[in-house]
Structure 1
Amino acid sequence: MKRLALITLALAIAAPAAAQMQITPIAKPKLAEIPLYPASKDADNEQWEHYSIHYGQLNMENDIVRNVTRPTITPYLPDPAKATGAGVVVAPGGAFLQLSMVSEGEEIARWLASQGIAAFVLKYRLNESPRDAKAYSKFMGQRMAQATQPGAADKIKEPRATQDALTALAMIRNRAKEFRIDPARLGMIGFSAGAMTALSATLEGQGDARPAFIGYIYGPMTAVTVPADAPPMFAAIAMDDSLFKKQGFAIADAWRNARRPVELHAYERGEHGFGAGRPGTTTTGLLPQFADWMRMHGWLKSSATPTH
């Protein structure tokens, strides 16, 4: 699997000087994107790059985008014959500086669609970063190193990402008939910074504006104040996560203490950024377990048409 979060961790934590890393500019892929703000006058500053890193046994590649100023969603819709009526907004991670559009976006969305779940990859706005690849590599390494410090990850935020998530949820619900989903069964799954974005949409959104459920994948594990009507949470993290392994499971405890449904998966190995699953570890069960959890809650009904 392609995991950029683990790539940056290798640079920030292991031995940056010994790692062989290459960043190559690439053309923007052809995506069936839908702008969240069609009338936006912001300049389109995004840049796409391919990362390749080799460090010891670590050999990883990924396509990422950064300096996003025009947010979009890209639908990945299931075969109508298999559609369940459920939908999931997929929020990739990348420290609010980049988005892992393949390992935490497209790969996740395609798997969900194969299970009859409509998926929508959210390309949300990011903090500005150096356009030069070498300068950016150093900048990102510093950011990830800072994120390993106690409490630091909670301060790495991009409020516009939350706004984009809530706007995406509203847009998809407004077009539910077109996407063949039930608006009441539209949730989110986020990875790292994407998990933080899903969480913020849950905590800051009001009522039906929030996701109906959230997948919180290797986000910070610190406690939050949980609303009495918070949606169910599926949380997952690897016990050897270099960013958050020392935080315990306070966020899951907070959900449980608020008497809200929560399921926690703590995998023995997988590191940070395992995406759909790191080969050779039990993290490969992440997406099947998430789908089973959705099925348990009744969100995967055998119906291709919305109920609302």
Structure 2
Amino acid sequence: MKNHHRIATVVAIVSAACAPHALLAQPADMPVPVAAPAPAEPGALPLYGDKTPGRAAGENWSLYFGRDYNVRNVTRPTLTPVLPDPAKATGAAVIVAPGGAFMGLSMSHEGWQVAHALADRGIAAFVLKYRLLPTPPDEKASGAFIWQKMSAGLRDPDQMPTLTDPAATEDGLAALRMVRANAAKWGVDPARVGMIGFSAGAMTSLATVIAAKPGEVPAFFGYIYGPQARIAVRDDAPPMFDAIALDDPLFPSRGFQIAQGWLAAKRPVEIHGYQKGSHGFGLGVPGTTTTMMLDEFVAWLSMQGFLTKKVAP
């Protein structure tokens, strides 16, 4: 990677040689993750208590560039609250869904760092470690495996990827229920609980929106470098903040078709197409306007009224 300030997700790292209809050979300069002990996850709450549906336990943690954690083979999903200083809390809450091709999660780059940045701005954040498709435990073997799965699942940039995981959607819905059920304890307004997702996390946020029952839909969501293919939009679709770099190699520009669907459904949507940033820019690539993304997201939330504190009667 030329820019070590941008620690991309597994998706971003293996997408550097993306073609319009298929992925090419795995790039020779792809950074190699180093297996690492699982880090402390203070405050992480089991999403389903002691009874977790799904596969056998056994997570594989690794580090990119010695500092950015990635996890694979998640079978016990968790939600980690990162709460703002009560003095500046707005009452809004955002569930943060990292990306990683549904086979890994970029926990530092697109999870904890994003959550702390939101909390610094008065927004309660909750990092969702959702269930993943299984991969080989060995790091080298898993890289080849993930590359093959991505190549099969990202054939047509004009269509939504076939690479998905329904368990991730179930976990998104469960995370919404958990935050709303504990709203008083965490100082948030249950009517102002939304999501923000990155890459596969963006797809998870979108799938959560689509799957939610009426009255249980996220109040809003950030769709950060997700695929831009058009979809059918529900009548009660929440406001969407759609951001992507126009030089994204994984989801090459075909216009903002998904946003066009929101407009056609007469639902609120805002679009940000950054000139540069590639895929996986997280909180931003230094020297590009992607560094403004989170502040633009927060300004958009404010414009929608989601950051306005309720006045006690």
TM-score (norm 2): 0.90
Q: Which residue of 2 aligns with 1:57?
A: none
Measure the CA separation in 2 of the matches of 1:221 and 1:301.
30
Please state if 1:34 is matched with 2:8. no
Please say if residues 95 and 144 of structure 1, whose CA atoms lie closer than 8 Å, have aligned partners that are also in contact: yes
Q: Deviations over 1:195-230 (max 9, x none)?
A: 111001111101222210010011110111111111
Q: What letter corresponds to residue 90 of structure 1 in structure 2?
A: V
Q: Find the residue that maps to 2:32 and give its secondary structure.
A: strand
Please state if 1:119 is matched with 2:129. no
The correspondence for 1:280, drawn from 271, 277, 287, is: 287
Tell which deviates more after alignment, 41-50 or 225-234: 41-50
Please say if residues 14 and 26 of structure 2, whose CA atoms lie closer than 8 Å, have aligned partners that are also in contact: no
Q: Deviations over 1:105-163 (max 9, x none)?
A: 01110000000000000000000001111111111223344455315752011001001
Q: Tell me, which stretches of 5 or more residues in structure 2 are unaligned?
A: 1-5
In 2 relative to 1, CA 43–18 (structure 1 residues): closer, same or farther, beyond 3 Å? closer
Q: Which residue of 1 aligns with 2:226?
A: 219
Q: Which residue of 1 aligns with 2:29?
A: 19
What is the RMSD computed on CA atoms of the aligned residues? 2.1
Give the drift of 1:61: 6.2
In 2 relative to 1, CA 17–244 (structure 1 residues): closer, same or farther, beyond 3 Å? closer
Q: How does 1:131-142 map to 2 (within 5 A)?
A: 131-142=137-148
Please say if residues 147 and 243 of structure 1, whose CA atoms lie closer than 8 Å, have aligned partners that are also in contact: no
Q: How does 1:161-200 map to 2 (within 5 A)?
A: 161-200=168-207
Please say if residues 8 and 280 of structure 2, whose CA atoms lie closer than 8 Å, have aligned partners that are also in contact: yes
Instruction: Count residues with an aligned counterpart.
Output: 299
Tell which deviates more after alignment, 36-45 or 291-300: 36-45
Measure the CA separation in 1 of the matches of 2:142 and 2:293.
31
The correspondence for 1:47, drawn from 45, 56, 60, is: 60
Q: Which residue of 2 aligns with 1:292?
A: 299
Give the drift of 1:243: 1.4
The correspondence for 2:12, drawn from 2, 6, 21, is: 6
Larger relative helix fraction: 1
In 2 relative to 1, CA 17–36 (structure 1 residues): closer, same or farther, beyond 3 Å? closer
Q: What letter corresponds to residue 171 of structure 1 in structure 2?
A: M
Q: What letter corresponds to residue 31 of structure 2 in structure 1?
A: M
Q: Which residue of 2 aligns with 1:104?
A: 110
Q: Deviations over 1:158-216 (max 9, x none)?
A: 00100100001001100000110000000000001101110011111012222100100
Q: Which residue of 1 aligns with 2:3?
A: none
Please say if residues 188 and 198 of structure 1, whose CA atoms lie closer than 8 Å, have aligned partners that are also in contact: yes
Give the drift of 1:25: 1.4
Give the drift of 1:45: 1.3
In 2 relative to 1, CA 228–46 (structure 1 residues): closer, same or farther, beyond 3 Å? same
TM-score (norm 1): 0.91
Q: Tell me, which stretches of 5 or more residues in structure 1 are unaligned?
A: 53-59
